Amino acid sequence: MEPYRPELWRDLYVMLGTSSATLLGLLYVVMSLHLDEIANNLGYRTRARTNTIFLIITLIAAALILTPQPMEILGLELVALNLFGWSFSIRNTYRYHFKNRALGKVGGLSPYRAAAFHGCFLVGIAGGVSLVRGASWGMYLATASYVALVVTVALHAWSIMLGIGQDENLATRRPKRRSR
């Protein structure tokens, strides 16, 4: 088994951490531009909060991976971080897909996006467990989880913006008059 060599992952995680921080900043800018629409729609509000939490999780993951420490400790930290993220994903899935579907539909919450988030966190947990067990290939799982989570958050944010745009178009569109 090849030993864990964190220096090989440094440049990748500097780039990933920077990407997460940049996306988090952009998300705040966009949310502030559409604050009324997000604040007045439970679905958009939930999705915006979840995206923020998930980007913070990726930023923390990058910081943990860039911190010099034993592979087993890193694995425990990644397991804990991914369990925390997964708990949000499970809570949202239960709340808006099983308990109250009508609220989930208001903001365009999708079971497919929920499944993608669950998958990201489960792969991250598997990567952390692998590192705890001494398997350096767990970094590949942790990285796959990280990249998939960033991509899923970006697509999730895009769908929020599309939904807000559609809502704004409906609000400004005037009913057409019938010609006689």
pLDDT digits (tens, 9 = 90+) for 87-135: 999 998 887 767 766 665 555 667 788 899 999 999 999 999 999 999 9
Q: What is the 3-state secondary structure (H, E, C) of 90-139?
A: HHHHHHHHHHCHHHHHHCCCCHHHHHHHHHHHHHHHHHHHHHHCCCCCHH
pLDDT digits (tens, 9 = 90+) for 5-61: 778 889 999 999 999 999 999 888 888 887 888 788 777 888 888 899 999 999 999
Q: 128, 138 in Cβ contact below 8 A?
A: yes
Q: Which long-range contacts (CB under 8 A, 24 or more apart) does 167-175 make?
A: 167/37, 167/41, 168/37
What residue type is assigned to position 36 of the chain?
A: D
